[in-house]
């Protein structure tokens, strides 16, 4: 099967300043994202994530190597027929309303008439902005802009979505909704390339990840495989009496192993936050900034 | 179930996408209240209409001179206001796209860079066409009112003067009186006709058309500069310099033809060969001097503008195509 994204030996050098000094932003990167995968691109600031995305979208040219989307070279317009992109911290046209923004992007993708209007309504509902559809984006909150950004990326129902920090500036409820949306997109057979600093989120939604550092790939693989500690074992039990703990520890030592810790499992802060907030508020997200 | 989409070999250039970009650019600029300049223009026109009616000039019939000055002021103001809009509105297009990251979302769609750039230009061109039409309509309205008032005044003043002369000469024969009054009527009609002719509505439309082409060219030059510039200030300053240099092309041509100094010849040659002669679009001076402005001359000017417009937009495209975003 043709990979959704195929990157081979991709290198990018920037020339900066008056002296035209070169900065190596990406160093011989190899990457392959299969159709239907949710792939996470991780790395500290300046590690080459955004450069990889820009190269994949043909916004900049590679110094060496090649990148293809669904088998088409990234420099060609045809490679972007089935791509939706959400940049980091998008602003969009401040004077257009939410609905007008989606209509505009839809028209650029060759859509028109009733099918486009229907699609715009669907997307506004999907990202929870139906009530704000006729308001100019100048009055949108950061989270709302992020959601309209996601909607524009999906307007032409692309097979591949490139999302750069999709939850930046979004509150935990909105963040969870975006995470759920990505999971839903995977169920629909879409491919998602996700750049994020939120490691928990990446861990929750991604099938595979790649960690970049200083323009180089330092790790790549399935999330489960990378996170599994083969030497240690964790057993979660319920209603175990206190006295039994000592017996278990003895039993483990009889087998030549050692108990590293016995403790109550903790929930995540996100779950705690969501439970606490949802107990107080109606479940639908607010549209007002 | 995941699917790999079947993609065509090529995505062709599409005018529909250019139009979508153009309308979006126009809507964006309209909502930024660009048309507020119309209020200033209206005030200027009303001011000019009343200012030029309070003094007379030389030997030429006072009313004709008034009308000429109003026309000159109006056409000049349309040209200057239009140039400001052409430079400022165009210069901010690409920087705003980059700052708001909208350019990333647009070029991430199946959109050619040429479609994006042309769309931006057509948007500004529409804005300029609307602006010139609005200013022109207002200007024509002022000229029409002035024409009506002044021709009526000329007519009545000539008749009244003749009637006064006749009344002041009691011993004038009745036939002579009638002859004097008939001559006065003819003179009055001629005077009114002369004012109508000076108003020259067709010439005003011609002058506005050439001005609009000049403004489109200025906008294209600004877009070309901003296709590689990294700052809006640079684009505005350079565009303003090109604008003024473009108006100096006839001077450079003259200098080029007569100067013997090598450096001067070189400079004049550069200006002469690389800059469009923007002064060629300014026909207001010809109209003020009373020179005829045949359609053939207008067509020549428009063809000249179209040629430079295509050259400038091609250059802008070649630069923008290679730009890293």
Query: What are A210-238's pLDDT values in tens digits?
Result: 989 889 998 898 988 887 777 788 888 88
* Contact yes or no for A82 and B24 at CB 8 A: no
A147 vs B: CB within 8 A: no
> A104-115 in b/e burial notation, b at 16+ Cβ within 10 A?
bbbbbbbbeeee
- pLDDT confidence of residue A280: 63
Domain membership of residue B2 (yes or no) is no
pLDDT over threshold 70, residue A273? no
Mutate to test the interface with A, among B30, B105, B114 (most CBs of A within 10 A): B105
- pLDDT confidence of residue A219: 85
Domain membership of residue B119 (yes or no) is yes
- pLDDT confidence of residue A94: 87
CA distance A148 to A101: 8
| Residue B325 to chain A, least CA–CA distance (Å) | 5
B12 vs A: CB within 8 A: no
CA distance A212 to A196: 12
**In 3D, which of A130, A131, A205 has the Cα closest to residue A166?**
A205
- pLDDT confidence of residue B1: 57
- pLDDT confidence of residue A136: 93
* Contact yes or no for A81 and B110 at CB 8 A: yes
Q: How sure is the predictor about A70, in pLDDT bands with cuts at 50, 70 and 90?
A: very high
pLDDT over threshold 80, residue A140? yes
* Contact yes or no for B325 and A60 at CB 8 A: yes
* Contact yes or no for A70 and B325 at CB 8 A: no
Domain membership of residue B4 (yes or no) is no
Domain membership of residue B8 (yes or no) is no
- pLDDT confidence of residue A287: 53
Overall number of domains in chain B? 1
* Chain B, window 94-113: residues with a beta carbon less than 8 angstroms from a chain A beta carbon: 99-102, 104-112
Burial class (CB in 10 A: 0-12, 13-18, 19+), A225: exposed
Mutate to test the interface with A, among B1, B4, B94 (most CBs of A within 10 A): B4
B33 vs A: CB within 8 A: no
A91 vs B: CB within 8 A: yes
Q: ∠ CA(A97), CA(B90), CA(B19), 5° rounding?
A: 55
Q: Which residues of B touch A100 (CB under 8 A)?
A: 27
| Residue A2 to chain B, least CA–CA distance (Å) | 7
| Residue A27 to chain B, least CA–CA distance (Å) | 18
- pLDDT confidence of residue A285: 53
* Contact yes or no for B101 and A87 at CB 8 A: yes
* Contact yes or no for B28 and A90 at CB 8 A: no
- pLDDT confidence of residue B120: 97
- pLDDT confidence of residue A8: 96
Domain membership of residue B281 (yes or no) is yes
Which position has the higher pLDDT, B22 or A243? B22
Domain membership of residue B6 (yes or no) is no
* Contact yes or no for A77 and B31 at CB 8 A: no
Low-confidence ranges of chain B (pLDDT < 70): 1-3, 52-61
Domain membership of residue B253 (yes or no) is yes
Among A249-253, A258-262, A279-283, B152-156, the range scoring the smallest mean pLDDT is A279-283
* Contact yes or no for A59 and B325 at CB 8 A: yes
Q: What's the average model confidence in pLDDT over A275-283?
A: 64
pLDDT over threshold 70, residue A270? no
**In 3D, which of B132, B122, B128, B130 has the Cα closest to residue B313?**
B122
Average pLDDT over chain A reads 88
Which residues make Cβ contacts (< 8 Å) with residue A277, sequence separation at least 6?
A: A172, A173
Place of tokens 């349309």: B78
Which position has the higher pLDDT, B64 or A86? A86
CA distance B205 to B207: 5
Residue A176 phi, psi (nearest 5)? -65, -35
State the DSSP code for A97: B
* Contact yes or no for B105 and A79 at CB 8 A: no
pLDDT over threshold 70, residue A27? yes
pLDDT over threshold 70, residue A68? yes
Each residue's pLDDT tens digit, A173-183: 888 888 888 99
| Residue A172 to chain B, least CA–CA distance (Å) | 25
* A213, containing H or E segment: strand A208-213
Does ipTM top 0.95?
no
Number of CB pairs, chain A paired with chain B, less than 8 A apart: 127
Find, in chain A, the residue whose alpha carbon is nearest to that of B115.
Answer: A108
Domain membership of residue B10 (yes or no) is no
Q: What's the average model confidence in pLDDT over A107-123?
A: 95
Alpha helix (H) residue ranges in B168-200: 174-199
CA distance B298 to B294: 7
- Note whether A211 and A220 are within 8 A (CB): yes
A125 vs B: CB within 8 A: no
| Residue B34 to chain A, least CA–CA distance (Å) | 13
State both tokens at B128: 């300029």
In which domain, by residue range, is B80 found? 15-322
Q: What's the average model confidence in pLDDT over A156-176?
A: 89
A191 vs B: CB within 8 A: yes
* Contact yes or no for A153 and B112 at CB 8 A: no
- pLDDT confidence of residue B59: 46
Place of tokens 């693989």: A221
| Residue A103 to chain B, least CA–CA distance (Å) | 10
* Contact yes or no for A87 and B104 at CB 8 A: yes
Among A98-107, A156-165, B46-55, the range scoring the smallest mean pLDDT is B46-55
Give chain B's radius of gyration (CA, Å).
27
Q: How sure is the predictor about A17, in pLDDT bands with cuts at 50, 70 and 90?
A: confident
* A12, containing H or E segment: strand A5-16
pTM score, whole prediction:
0.86
């Amino acid at each position: 099967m043709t990979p959704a994204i195929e990157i081979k030996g991709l290198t990018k050098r920037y020339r900066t300043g008056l002296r035209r000094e070169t900065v190596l932003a990406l160093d011989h990167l190899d990457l392959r994202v299969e159709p239907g995968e949710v792939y996470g691109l991780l790395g500290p600031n300046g590690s080459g994530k955004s450069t990889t995305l820009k190269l994949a979208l043909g916004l900049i040219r590679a110094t060496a190597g090649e990148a293809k989307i669904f088998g088409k070279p990234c420099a060609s317009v045809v490679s972007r027929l089935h791509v939706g992109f959400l940049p980091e911290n998008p602003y969009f046209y401040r004077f257009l309303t939410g609905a007008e923004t989606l209509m505009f992007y839809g028209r650029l993708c060759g859509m028109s008439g009733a099918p486009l209007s229907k699609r715009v309504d669907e997307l506004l509902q999907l990202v929870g902005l139906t009530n704000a559809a006729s308001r100019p984006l100048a009055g949108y909150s950061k989270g709302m802009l992020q959601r309209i950004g996601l909607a524009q990326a999906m307007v032409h129902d692309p097979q591949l979505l490139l999302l750069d920090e999709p939850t930046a500036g979004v509150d935990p409820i909105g963040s969870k909704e975006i995470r759920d949306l990505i999971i839903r997109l995977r169920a629909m057979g879409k491919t998602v390339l996700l750049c994020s600093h939120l490691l928990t989120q990446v861990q929750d939604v991604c099938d595979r990840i790649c960690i970049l550092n200083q323009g180089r790939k330092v790790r790549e693989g399935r999330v489960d495989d990378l996170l599994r500690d083969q030497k240690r074992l964790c057993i979660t039990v319920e209603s175990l009496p206190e006295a039994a703990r000592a017996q278990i520890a003895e039993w483990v030592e009889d087998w030549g192993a050692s108990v590293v810790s016995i403790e109550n499992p903790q929930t995540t802060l996100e779950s705690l936050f969501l439970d606490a907030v949802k107990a107080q508020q109606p479940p639908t997200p607010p549209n007002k900034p | 179930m995941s699917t790999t989409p079947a993609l065509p070999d090529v995505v062709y250039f599409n005018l529909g996408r250019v139009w979508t970009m153009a309308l979006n650019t126009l809507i964006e600029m309209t909502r930024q209240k660009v048309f507020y300049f119309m209020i200033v223009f209206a005030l200027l026109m009303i001011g000019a209409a009343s200012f030029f009616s309070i003094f007379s000039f030389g030997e030429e019939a006072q009313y004709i001179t008034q009308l000429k000055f109003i026309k000159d002021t109006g056409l000049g103001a349309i040209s200057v206001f239009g140039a400001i809009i052409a430079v400022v509105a165009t210069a901010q297009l690409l920087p705003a796209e980059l700052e708001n990251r909208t350019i990333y979302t647009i070029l991430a769609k199946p959109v050619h860079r040429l479609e994006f750039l042309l769309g931006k230009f057509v948007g500004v061109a529409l804005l300029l066409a609307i602006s010139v039409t609005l200013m022109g309509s207002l200007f024509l309205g002022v000229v029409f009112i002035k024409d009506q008032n002044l021709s009526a005044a000329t007519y009545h003043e000539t008749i009244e003067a003749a009637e006064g002369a006749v009344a002041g000469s009691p011993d004038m024969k009745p036939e002579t009186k009638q002859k004097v009054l008939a001559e006065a009527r003819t003179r009055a009609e001629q005077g009114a006709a002369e004012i109508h002719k000076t108003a020259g509505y067709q010439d005003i439309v011609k002058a506005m058309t050439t001005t609009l082409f000049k403004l489109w060219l200025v906008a294209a030059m600004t877009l070309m500069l901003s296709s590689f510039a990294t700052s809006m200030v640079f684009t505005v300053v350079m565009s303003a310099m090109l604008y003024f240099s473009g108006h100096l092309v006839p001077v450079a041509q003259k200098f080029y033809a007569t100067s013997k100094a090598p450096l001067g010849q070189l400079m004049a040659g550069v200006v002469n060969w690389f800059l469009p002669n923007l002064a060629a679009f300014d026909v207001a001076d010809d109209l003020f001097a009373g020179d005829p402005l045949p359609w053939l001359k207008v067509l020549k000017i428009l063809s000249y503008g179209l040629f430079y417009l295509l050259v400038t937009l091609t250059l802008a495209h070649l630069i923008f195509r290679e730009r890293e975003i």
